[in-house]
Structure formats: C-alpha cells, structure tokens
Amino acid sequence: METAVTDYTGLVGMREDGKRRLQLAVEGISCAGCAMKIERELNARDGVEARVNMTRRHLTLVWSGDDARGNRLIRDVEQLGFRLSPVAEKEDDSQEEKFLLRCMAIAGFASGNIMVFSLALWFTSRDTMGAATQDLFHWICALIALPAIVYSGRPFFYSAWKALRHFRTNMDVPISVGVILATSMSLYETAAHGAYVYFDAAVMLLFLLLAGRYLDRQSRGQAREAARNILALNSGTATILDGGRPHRIPAENIRPGMTLIVAEGERIFADGRVAAGEVSVDASALTGETLPRRLAAGDAALAGMVNLGGALQVSVSKSPADSLAGEIVRLMEKAEQSNARYVRIADRISRYYTPVVHLLALGAFLFWWAGMGLAWQPALMIAVTVLIITCPCALGLAVPVVQVLASQWLFRRGMLVKTADALERLAMTDTVIFDKTGTLTTGAAEADLQGVGGEMAQLAASLAVHSRHPLCLAISRQWPGALLPLENVREAKGEGISASYKGDVIRLGSRPFCGVRQAPDDDRQETWIARGGAAPQRITFLDQLRPDAARTVADLKRQGLRVLMLSGDRRAVAETVAGILGIAECHAEVNPKQKLEIIDGLHREGRRVLMVGDGINDAPALLRAGCSMSPSTAMEVTQNAADVVFQGASLKSVSLALRAAAFCRILVRQNFAMALLYNVVALPLAMTGHVTPLIAAIAMSASSLAVTFNALRFNRLKED
C-alpha cells in the first residue's frame, strides 16, 4: 500500500523555458551523503533536475511534464526516508541546535563522572579493590551511562533507524552499532560480575561526535542568516503611484511597471529607472562605495539604495525577489554549494574509518569464535577491544583541539574564527584579494582641504557643520580649527548649502550650485566652495587608508602571496588607492557577479584564494573564495558570510591569521601522524588478543593526551 503524499501542485511554479519548478524543505539530512543520495535518485529520471542545498536544507526540483509529476517525485524521496514540507517563510533551527547542545552537554557531563570511577577501576585490581566494590563501581557507571547514551545518542540512533528502515545506510549506522555493542557488552559484563566494562568509551565517543555535529550546524546556520539579512533590505512598506495618488503596499507586492515614490531617507525596494527627480543616494550596501552617487532621470536605481535627499520616483523593472539583492542571495547559495568540496578533515576520515573499524571488529569476532573455536564471550571481548582501542578519540581530537587553541589565540588578538575548517583552508592560501572601500580604507571619506585657501577652507567647514550630507561630514571631521559665524544658512536638497558672511553669499555644493563654468576632467569625488563673485574652489575627497594597509600588502608579497584588489568604485579612485599600496592587479567597477567570475578564474588556475571584504556586495565572493575575512566594521550580513572577523583599524590581522593557520596546519598533521601511528600499532595487537580492555582504554586515553599536549605548542607562536 502506497503512503499518501501531500498534494504540492499548488506550489509548483513555471519557468521561462516551460519546465516546472518546486522548492521544498527536507528533514532528515545528516551528511553530504544524504544530499547526494537524493540528487542521484531524482536526477536519474528523464527531464528532472534536482539540487539539495545543505546549508538551508532545501530541495529544488525542476522537471518536464505536468504539475502532478512533482508529487510522484516527492514520493520517491520520502521512500528514501526523508520528510519533505513547504519552505517556511521564517525558518528557525534554534530548537534543533539547542537539542544537539543538550545532548552534547549530557554526554560530556556523564563522560566526566564515569571517568572518576574508571580511573579507580583501571589502576586497581579486582583482588585489591574487592569484587563487591568493583561490581558497585560498574553499576554506578552503568546508572550514569545508560540514561546519557539513550538521550545523547538519539541524533544518531534516529537517523540510523530511518536509514535502515528504508534499506539504506549512512554514517550514523556504524556509529550507532558501535555505541550499542559497547554498551550492551558492558551491561552484560556488569550483570555477570565481569572484570571490565566500556561505558566510558561509548559515552566519550558520543560526546566527540556530537561536538563536531553541533559546530557544523552552527556554521551552516550563519550562512542561512546571512541570506536572510540581505533579503531584509527589500522588506518593509513602499509607496507607489496608483491612479495618480500615493498608496502604501508591502514591499513584496511590488511588481514591474509600478512607480515607486521614495522619500528622503527611505530605501529603494526594487530595481528600476529614475522616472523623476535628481538626488544623491547611498549605494554602499550594494556597491561598496562610501561616497554618495548622483541619480538623475533615466539612471538605473537598485534595490537597497537609500535616498539621501529630494523627491524621487522610480519606474520598477524587476520585483524585489528578482532585484540585485535577490541575485546576491542566489549567488551566495551557489557559492556555498561550491564550497561543499571543503569537507572537514574529521568527517573525511570518519566516513571510511568507522565502517572499516567495525568490519575489522566483526572479522576478529568471527575469526576467534568460528575459526579458532574460542567461546563467544572472549571472542566478543576481543571484538569490543578492537572497537575501544581504535575508538577515534585521538583522530577526533587531532583537528578540534588545535583549532580551539588557535581560535583562542587569535581571539585574544582581536580575531573571531567563525567556521570549524577556516584555519585549514586559510593555511592553503596563495592569493589574497582585498576589497577597497571599508577594507583597505576605513570607509570614511577624507577631505583634501589643502587645495583651497585657509579662509575658504574655514568657510567650507563652517557651512558643512549645518548639513548631514556625507561630504559635509567629511569636511567637518577634517577641519581642526574654529568656525566662523554665518547668517541665513539654507540647504538646497541635492544641490548644496548657502549662507551669508560679511555681506557675501557663501555656497558649498555641486558645480551648478556654485556657478562653476570650467572644471577638471577627472573622476574624483568633489564639492565646491564659492564666495561672492570670486572663482569657486574645488574640494576633493578620497577614502582614508587604514594606517598599516601598505605595510600589510608588502608583508604578504614578501611571503610570496599574490595580492589583488577588487572594487565596485570608479576606476580612477580604485587605481589611485592601488598605486599607493603597491597592488599591481586592480579590478575596478566590478559587480558581485563579476567578482565571482574573477575568483572562479583564479580557481581554474589552481589558486587558493583568501577574500577580504566588508560590503554586502562582497558576501557572495567571501563564500566562493577558499577562505574569507571581514573587518568588524563591516555590515552584519558580510560578517556572517566571512570565516574570520577581525577587530580594529589594523590590517595586520590578515598576515597574522595566515601565519597562525600555517602553524595550525603543521600541528594538525603531526597529530594525525601520531593518531594513525597509534592505530597501526594498536590494531594488530588488539585483533590478535594481546591487549586487554584495560590496556585498550589506557592506550586510547594516552593517544588522546598525546595529541592534546602537542596542540598546546600553539601557545608558543610569536606574533612577529
């Protein structure tokens, strides 16, 4: 009898090429193998394209045929053991993360308490301790371990049961088998007054595996949050012209052909072209430009821009979902999917390590019981010893313990490492890409007042304090002296500000506002100051460089790294900054998609790219690059997308993080070598019955301590 499947035909959309499209949330995905299994099952069908986004746990289905075919495809997925549901408008994974955290806390607490009794059991013989005391300690360990294993093992047991019920396997199956076998044997030995139990190994194994799973969930949740924050740029209430009268509607209801009325200080909610008005807009959220951009009739207006002053009407050409901000979200998802090849080291090993170990344990049991005629109890004891001595504690600690110490070391120096494998990828970097505005520069415009006379500069500063325009704020910050008393101060929105001083009219603003007839033909940001009938004087602006930007670039080049600069700013401005810093490769006026194309080109050359940026337009590039860093002054969206966030105005953090990552990589390799050497030596001894469970437990703990002490060497790393 077929299981009833919800009818999703009402959610099916139509693409321009005539194919149907449906997006659903998938429950039950625990690893990349699950996603590959779904895609392999669906893509085998004619005319079907399926893609699973591991970060958002979404399945996107595209197919040829009628709407009802989607229901049949969904039934095929659910028969694999996965549950599908409509995508919620606001997805919240906090409950699942809290559940994993509770499981990890309980496993850790239980493991610590069991170790208290295990130490006495390890180092005291049954004759010395007494049989009754040893049995009591075993039962205490059982009372602590059994509830902890039942509760903390649920993420693995439930996933394994679902897989086996649908005649498939996943990574949680061997994990569950190992934990259940060790626990069952321990319980049997306790009831039979045996000499050895293995509750400590079972609980500790769960704790380490849960810690890795929780970190993975956290990092993927940050990527989801980054996408939501970008989409929030296009949420709110917009004003449209409807029959010649203004009308308020939700931003998501904006459609092409509508005319938006954007008041001063409001955000443009959809892409289009300026139908009426001439204003300055803040485009920093999209292009990375700190200085305002001028828009006039016919110019392209993008969703996310903020109107800095004056009346503005925009003829909508795209809905908010199809705007540049929406495209950035899609690019982020695509970039995140391409990063899926960076599988964490522990996951790569455990994918093959765990099933191989359990097969070896089974082989040892069959060899001694069926082949050598040994009783099933001692044969099973040897198999369990194999499981204990090869428990991947040392391998499980090899990466995390170094990463924790490295992350703490960097945190004390103002850097927050946000993803579990960031240092691994950072260590492979051979190319560093910097964004300009807000990264190599502070993001604050710097006014050049030396080109105007002393009194004219003082007049400009005296006028500028009466306006909140970004260029006026830059002049105010730059002027260190006293201000002059002005009269009749007036601001013409979008043009400039004027006042009277000693009978003269003083103007600060655009070329037409100040009566400029001839001006230099360059692309520098400017404003003008004019007094009476005297010739107007020009004030230019440049982003203020971070104090150690040039030194950092030079240090990176000395390390043999290739350094590039990408910027959405104008070519003249970008090339000026690149020349000052000694960056030979500069790409200006690039949009988010072009940044991805440049990074992809470097990847095709075999380059390992570190991207350092701060704007929303950098978020897809940060995710596409091998590793990414962002200053703490960046927007929250960009910080969420970055692997490392650094504090302060110094760029020294970039070279320091690279040096720390290189040392981290050395320690990780040494830890892996020690852990693998331990297993190469210990496994044959365990399989031949030369190791008791007590020695196995001691050896397992010793291997874990060895990699931990080696990782502590990270604290010896010097900053210079």
Between strands 609-612 and 431-435, the pairing is: parallel
561 — phi, psi (to 5°)? -90, 145
- The one-letter amino acid code at 317 reads S
Catalytic (active site) residue 548: no
Q: Check: CB of residue 565 under 8 Å from CB of residue 594.
A: no
Distance CA 225, CA 424 (A): 23
Alpha-carbon torsion (594, 561, 711, 405), positive or negative? negative
Length of the chain: 720
Distance CA 537, CA 527 (A): 9
342 — phi, psi (to 5°)? -85, 75
How far, in whole angstroms, is CA 26 from its chain's centroid? 21
Structure letter (DSSP) for residue 436: I
Distance CA 493, CA 313 (A): 16
Distance CA 590, CA 597 (A): 10
278 — phi, psi (to 5°)? -140, 110
Alpha-carbon torsion (330, 332, 336, 339), positive or negative? positive
Q: Give me Rg for the CA atoms of the chain.
A: 32
Q: Check: CB of residue 31 under 8 Å from CB of residue 347.
A: yes
Q: Which residues pair with 528 in a beta bridge?
A: 509, 538
- Which residue has 């060790």 as its token pair? 182
3-state secondary structure of 293: strand
Residue closest to 443 by CA, chosen among 267, 240, 649: 649
- Which residue has 């209801």 as its token pair? 253
Maximum Cα interatomic distance, the chain, rounded to a whole number of Å: 114
Which H or E run contains 185?
Answer: helix 172-191
Q: Check: CB of residue 29 under 8 Å from CB of residue 52.
A: yes
Give whole-number Cα distances, 656 to 82, 415, 578, 619, 659, in Å.
44, 10, 22, 22, 5
Structure letter (DSSP) for residue 322: G
Angle at 45 between CA 330 and CA 71, to 5 degrees: 75
3-state secondary structure of 45: coil
Count of helix runs (H) and strand runs (E) in the chain: 25, 27
Distance CA 1, CA 539 (A): 80
Alpha-carbon torsion (510, 514, 520, 521), positive or negative? positive
Angle at 417 between CA 415 and CA 419, to 5 degrees: 165
Q: Check: CB of residue 653 under 8 Å from CB of residue 646.
A: yes
Catalytic residue among 435, 569, 614, 618: 435
Tokens of 513: 């506002």
Tokens of 123: 């180092």
Distance CA 115, CA 619 (A): 45
Give Cβ neighbours of residue 651 (< 8 Å, ≥ 6 apart).
440, 546, 548, 549, 552
Q: Check: CB of residue 466 under 8 Å from CB of residue 491.
A: yes
Positions marked catalytic:
435
